[in-house]
Amino acid sequence: MTTTTTQSVAPNLRLDGITLTYPDGDGTLTALDRVDLDVPAGTITAVVGPSGSGKSSLLAVAATLVTPDSGSVVLAGTEVNGLSAADRSRLRRERVGIVFQQPSLLPSLTALEQLQVMAHLDGRGPRGARSQAAELLDAVGLAAQAGRRPHQLSGGQRQRINIARALMNEPAVLLVDEPTSALDHERGAAVLDLIARLTRERGTATVLVTHDRTHLAEADEVLTMTDGRLGACASAV
């Protein structure tokens, strides 16, 4: 994989004509139907839609975790089609941050170590990783909790660590799936504010899947997924 080409192009996410089917009995189920999506750096695109409409499938394709039947995915200027599996996972590791509904933190590690381990997996040295982890914990308002383990943190604090951890590789693309589903309204709103601020400050192209329409005010664009088709959302905000 050539990384030089990725650096000269503005980081963003582009999906073009994505169709994804799953085997379904004797036939196939179309989870994504000719989906186009363009997310500029430093912006949030929110995706809403009923259960089973294809939202998670969209994130999985954008994350290069699932290969679509057809269409093109361009991550931070790099066309994913045609990359080897190894290059695809490297691109994902280096350029994509993923935040799932439930923070999957390692119980025995402190908040700081949860972040440092990401750099370690990436083969980076401990010194730079420690200062970067400390800076990110500060950015998510948890500098004072750096030495705490997950059971000593609230649900909202754990989700903040989850978000900080997703940013350790300085991703160009941030994919966020229902980040507030385990939180009460106030903590959920604070987590959304945080995602919005970090998106602007760090220039990520952020896709936010959400059921909560109060979150849509933070989005630059709101799209609706219906039966695998992605379209404009007329009554979103």
Ligand X SMILES: Nc1ncnc2c1ncn2[C@@H]1O[C@H](COP(=O)(O)OP(=O)(O)OP(=O)(O)O)[C@@H](O)[C@H]1O
Residue 34 phi, psi dihedral angles, 5° rounding: 50, 55
One-letter amino acid at 161 equals: I
Interface with ligand X, residue 29, by CB under 6 A: yes
Q: Name the minimum Å distance from CB 162 to ligand X.
A: 18
Residue 121 is a binding residue for ligand X (CB under 6 A): no
Residue 153 or residue 230: which is nearer to ligand X going by CB? Answer: 230
**Considering the complex, what minimum distance in angstroms separates the CB of residue 50 from ligand X?**
7
Stretch that binds ligand X, among 45-53, 73-81, 115-123, 229-237 (CB under 6 A): 45-53
Q: Choose between 22 and 106: whose C-beta lies nearer to ligand X.
A: 22
Question: What CA–CA distance (Å, rounded) separates 37 from 124?
Answer: 33
Q: Which of 1, 9, 28, 52 binds ligand X (CB under 6 A)?
A: 52
Q: Determine, following the binding rule CB under 6 A, whether residue 67 of this chain makes contact with ligand X.
A: no
Q: Which pair of structure tokens corresponds to residue 36?
A: 């186009």
Under the criterion CB under 6 A, does residue 1 sit at the interface with ligand X? no
Instruction: Please report whether residue 210 would count as binding ligand X according to CB under 6 A.
Output: no
- At closest approach, how far in Å is the CB of 208 from ligand X? 13
Question: Does 227 interact with ligand X (rule: CB under 6 A)?
Answer: no
Question: Which of 49, 68, 97, 150 contacts ligand X by CB under 6 A?
Answer: 49
Contacts with ligand X by CB under 6 A lie at: 22, 29, 31, 49, 51-57
